[in-house]
Amino acid sequence: MDSWWITGFVDGEGCFSVSVFKNATTKAGVQIFPEFVVTQGAKSLLTLKNLQDFFGCGRIYENRRKDNHRENLYRYCVRSKKDLREKIIPFFEKYPLNTSKRQDFMVFCKVMDMIENKSHLTPEGLMIIRELAATTNRRKIRV
């Protein structure tokens, strides 16, 4: 798999998102959940497996469709902050995205930096993270 092929594919099918969930058991009262995801139908599951092998991290999840007439979707997800920091982010810094997903990626990196610097433990930092996170979660669904 060529590295630029991967960037092109992720420009098309990838997503860098950050979710913020309430979680009273954490110091900040919330859990911040950065995620890199690439989605494909069953027919291109092998491509997701190749991506997983290439990056050497992440898992593939099956999303069952309610409509049985359509093929199931599969999601290659990297959720480990360590893997995101050490494998995913350096790759896309070396082979930059071309579409508007480049902005999503920059926001994603900014949030990762803020988590690393414990900014999410201050109310101001958490507010900024929430605002940045909201920009990465546009609803993108294929029917």
- The CA–CA distances, whole Å, from 112 to 5, 31, 77, 80, 90 equal 25, 13, 16, 11, 12
* Token pair listed for 98: 């071309």
Closest contact distance (angstroms) between CB of 3 and its own copies is 8
- The CA–CA distances, whole Å, from 93 to 2, 59, 106 equal 16, 22, 10
d(CA 76, CA 47): 10
4 binds its own copies (CB under 8 A): yes
- The correct pick among 31, 72, 99, 122 for binding its own copies (CB under 8 A) is 99
Give CA torsion, residues 14, 133, 129, 123, to 10 deg: -150
Do the strands 73-78 and 30-41 form a parallel or antiparallel pair, or are they unpaired?
Answer: antiparallel
134 binds its own copies (CB under 8 A): no
Closest contact distance (angstroms) between CB of 54 and its own copies is 11
Residue range at the interface with its own copies (CB under 8 A); choices 4-12, 24-32, 58-66, 127-135: 4-12
d(CA 41, CA 19): 24
Query: Whose Cβ is closer to its own copies: residue 77's or residue 115's?
Result: 77
136 binds its own copies (CB under 8 A): no
Closest contact distance (angstroms) between CB of 137 and its own copies is 15
143 binds its own copies (CB under 8 A): yes
Residues interacting with its own copies, by CB under 8 A?
1-14, 40-41, 43-44, 47, 50, 98-101, 140-143
